[in-house]
Amino acid sequence: MDAGPLERWCYQNRPPRCEYVLTMTGRSLRPVIVALHAWGNKDLAPDERSLVLVDRATG
């Protein structure tokens, strides 16, 4: 985690909840991650998808 593609950001203490965000190193992998995500979801109905990507700036 220290020099990897992800960084953990804890946003709640009780119960502990953390979000994993891409570092600058990880951002270069973003197109690959998004392509794999799209490939995994292509045959699923919207309510069957386990993950939905949301742009933080635009929602």
pLDDT at 2: 64
Non-local (6+) Cβ contacts of 17 within 8 A are 10, 11
- Summarised one tens digit per residue, pLDDT across range 12-48 is 999 999 999 889 998 898 899 889 988 888 888 888 8
Site of tokens 């045959």? 43
Taking the whole predicted model, whether its pTM rises above 0.85 is answered as no
Eight-class DSSP state of 37: H
Which residue type sits at 35? A
Q: Would you list the domain boundaries of the chain?
A: 6-44
Confidence category of residue 1, pLDDT binned at 50, 70, 90: low
